[in-house]
Amino acid sequence: MSQLKIGFFGGTFDPPHLGHLALARKAFEQMALDQVLWVLTPLSPLKHKTFATLKQRIKMIELMVSVENCFEFSRVDLVRTPPYYSVDTAKLIRQQYQEPIELYCILGADSLKYLPKWYHHKEFVFDRVDGIIVADRPGVTIDMNELNSKVPGIKKRLYRIDMPKINISSANIREAISEGRDISSMVTTPVNELIKNEAVY
């Protein structure tokens, strides 16, 4: 029996948007994954704060994972103490399965660019995951030779996803809300309704 292929998509998701959804779907389809875990991180080690409360972000992720049967909300980072390093998250995810799995990290190119700054990034890339699934982001250019010089061998661990570049970011959504602009083209309808009803931002 072949091993399960699991993709995990981590982030603060503040808020989760249609770009996240498209990437998760494309990763599932193009990599023939069995499941995509949405891993909500209370606070990223590379970010100083969040805007929505943790409870509100949990609600939004619950709405996002309900869209597809292949999605699951992983609380692996919610039940442990900080800091929330991806190298530890990956280890804990593997421990949740009785049998060995193939584990892939799903990233946007903007996150991949900063991977060399991650805690124990070489251990993460070569020991904790079987590969990194990455999608291009508008306005983000990565010098692969430079990245490979900082993390030798990483090129062979990358799997590029073929998808349109979606110019949506959580920061752009928060800015639009602060300016009173409509965000219905950037988030799912249920997430939009929750943001409005709870005045999240």
CA dihedral 180, 182, 187, 190 (to 10 degrees): 90
- For the chain, the domain total comes to 1
Does 165 have pLDDT greater than 90? no
The answer as to whether 192 is a domain residue is: no
Q: Quick one: pLDDT at residue 199?
A: 96
What is the pairing mode between strands 35-40 and 71-74? parallel
> What pLDDT, in 10s, does the model give residues 16-30?
999 999 999 999 999
CATH number at residue 50: 3.40.50.620
Whether 83 is covered by a domain: the verdict is yes
Amino acid at 75: R
Average pLDDT estimate for 145-156? 95
Range 163-169 average pLDDT: 90
- Tell me if 43 is assigned to some domain: yes
Higher pLDDT, 135 or 138: 135
Place of tokens 């995990």: 8
CA distance 149 to 138: 24
In a domain, 176, yes or no: no
Inside any domain, residue 84: yes
Residues of the domain holding 89: 4-166
Q: What is the mean pLDDT of the chain?
A: 95
Cα 11 from Cα 39, distance rounded (Å)? 7
Answer whether residue 181 is part of any domain: no
Mapped onto helix, strand or coil, the DSSP state of residue 13 is: coil
User: What is the bridge-based pairing of β-strands 131-135 and 101-108?
Assistant: parallel
pLDDT for the residue numbered 103:
98
Residue 31 lies in a domain: yes
Task: Report pLDDT for 140.
Answer: 83
pLDDT of amino acid 18: 97
Reported pTM = 0.95
